[in-house]
A and B are shown apart, each in its own frame.
Chain A
Amino acid sequence: MMKNIGIIIELDNGKIKETNFGMITLARAKDTELFAVVMDADAASVKEDLELFGITKIVEVCLSKDQQANPVVRAKVIINVIKAYNICAVFGLSTATGKDLLPRIAAFLEASLVMDCYAVDLEQNLVKTSQYSGKTIATIKVTGDVLVFGVRPNAVEPVKAQASARIVKLKLDESNLVAKGFRVIKTSEVDESTNINLVEADVIIAGGRGMKNGDNFTILSKCAEKLNAAVGASRVAVDAGWVPYSMQVGQTGEKVSPMVYIACGISGSVQHFAGMKTSGMVIAINTDGNASIMSNCDYYVKADALEIIPELIKHLEND
């Protein structure tokens, strides 16, 4: 029997974030129809991109700006979509937005939910995610009428599968969208032009205690700018007040899976690894050849990061 799958598309300034395509790739399975739900743009503007990855239905909902900003309303919109189209599995991204949305959907429906997953088998209803600070992989059997999945950004390689999609407009019953006791006062716009989103970045250059002070992080920022990378940090660098907490990678910070992770003056503690273990390539620059990151990376440089990074910037500039 054909299963209907819902995919919540995350946009950034009206454009589809790249990391959605990996999620769609993950959701694709035999005998499924893929419904993309677009809450922040008109469906026509994203149709081509979505078709390229196999979406066959695009659900367009018309929301006011206030409704768009309210995660409770958004969760209820998705529940309306689930009911209207008989959706049995919903995929969204495990981004900051997703972490405030997907659990609301699962909680309202008393449905199963696995966040930060990177593999899903919809025939057997098995999901894979990491647990215990990235030290184990858990395979979880999910049950229930509706299954909700939060997909780890960048964890799945996007694969194209051209399809043609039809736009369906869902008329919402406003009385179903009430956010009881919950009001948005202010939403903040992330300025993506100056700040590449850490969890979605292809390249991250991160600094730890070895950076010695906050000023030296500007060297990392400069290098990041040239590499189109985001800057991350260890907890030591955050606790010392050199950089804001939002830059922390690790168990109690962001969990990232970039293609390349460059660790400068970071020893590679278990807790730091918990956040960057799933990176594609790890390059470590550390003065101590015995630091644990040196035996747990793809390339290592035994040197002062404050000498290597400026050289790297110089070569990038001359490139």
Chain B
Amino acid sequence: MQIYICVKHVPDSAANITIVEKNRIDENLTFLLNPYDEHAVTEAVRIKDNLPDSEIVAVCLGKDDAEKTLRSAMAMGADRGLLIASDKNHDSIETAQALKAAIEQDGNPGLIFTGKESIDAEGMQTMFRIGALLDLPVATNVVNLDIEAGRAVVDCALSGGTANTYELSLPCVIGAGRGLNTPRYPTFPDVVKSKKKPVKKIAFYDLKIEPSKAGMKIVELEPLLQKREPKEIKGDAGEVAKKILRILKDEARVI
């Protein structure tokens, strides 16, 4: 089975974000493999352990620099990489179109993974768009996955620790959630080996994506400033408790 994992090259969550030209961030910072995609790669490797004939292909739409993220995915176990290179930022409609076109051009997906969201744009929709374009069933926030007899049985997490169980025919698209597994971080030899794995580069414009009538364009980015002015609550435990209660009652009005 060919397993495709759509991975995203995203700014390190701890990095400071600087806004330039009103609607972009200064990209001169550390970028990493999107954390949810780590679960997707780990799961693909687990599936390959049971189906050794499988091939795991990591696909990324990004700038040239995104090859690093493909290397991270390969160090974690992907067999090869596919970089759809573009200088521009794309919304999730174009992203899904590009990923779909590149995957179709490359092979025959038995399973397609994404993370349940990217931690930069937090769009939560690319997996559904890929599924709709390929006419495949989709599940997101998947925290348990069993592949059996031509179908996938998945648990999708809801709030409160509960989950719904769905059955999807194969091929299908899976948005990996955090409970899916514990990412297996690469060892030094894994990293060395990943450097020798092949990465094929294709240009976004060569995929000849039809422009969509729908779109989402960021027109402005502003820093989310914190305007809180901390006030200390002093006293012994009893006094503090009383003061908190008063604040909850009179100021916040929640009791």
Q: Using a CB–CB distance below 8 Å, which chain A residues touch chain B?
A: 69, 72, 95-97, 99-100, 103-104, 106-108, 110-116, 126, 129-146, 150, 179-191, 195, 197-199, 202-203, 227-228, 244-247, 251-254, 259-260, 262, 269-271, 274, 277, 280-284, 294-303, 307-308, 310-312, 314-316, 319
Contacts and interface: CB of A to CB of B under 8 A. Distances in A.
A184 B153 CA distance: 10
Task: Determine which residue in A107, A116, A187 has the highest number of CB atoms from chain B within 10 A of its CB, and name it.
Answer: A107
B124 A141 contact: no
Nearest to B182: A239
Contact of A271 (B14, B167, B168, B238): B14
Nearest to B25: A132
Interface string B15-51: 0110100000100000000011000000000000000
A139 B214 contact: no
Contact of A298 (B157, B231, B240, B255): B231
Task: Determine which residue in A202, A274, A294, A299 has the highest number of CB atoms from chain B within 10 A of its CB, and name it.
Answer: A299
B230 A297 contact: yes
B219 A126 contact: yes
Given A227-B254, A298-B229, A198 B216 contact: no
A110 B132 contact: yes
Given A142-B215, A228-B255, A252-B178, 6 more contacts: A115-B123, A143-B213, A180-B137, A245-B178, A299-B232, A303-B240
Contact of B244 (A114, A116, A283, A302): A283
B160 A187 contact: no
Nearest to A101: B128
A308 to B, nearest CB: 6
Contact of B125 (A103, A182, A311): A103
Interface class of chain B by DSSP: mixed
Nearest to A127: B216
B158 A190 contact: yes
Contact of A97 (B35, B136, B158, B241): B158
B166 A183 contact: yes
B245 A316 contact: yes
Contact of A132 (B17, B92, B242): B17
B108 interface: no
A49 to B, nearest CB: 22
Interface class of chain A by DSSP: mixed
A319 B245 contact: yes
Interface residues of B, number: 83
Interface stretch (B53-61, B70-78, B195-203, B220-228): B220-228
A116 B122 contact: yes
Contacts of A247: 161
A195 B169 CA distance: 33
A299 B233 CA distance: 7
A139 B215 contact: no
A195 B160 CA distance: 7
B137 A130 contact: no
Contacts of A202: 254
B140 interface: yes
B236 to A, nearest CB: 9
B217 A190 contact: no
Contacts of B237: 303, 307-308, 310-311
Contact of A112 (B11, B93, B121, B252): B93
B96 to A, nearest CB: 8
Contacts of B136: 181
A198 B17 contact: no
A47 B140 CA distance: 32
A113 B226 contact: no
A103 B25 CA distance: 26
Nearest first, the 3 closest Cβ-Cβ pairs linking A and B are: A144-B214, A181-B169, A246-B161
Given A95-B159, A308-B237, A140 B137 contact: no
B13 A133 contact: yes
Contact of B172 (A112, A116, A181): A181
Interface in B167-199: 167-169, 172, 178-179
A227 B214 contact: no
A95 B157 CA distance: 11
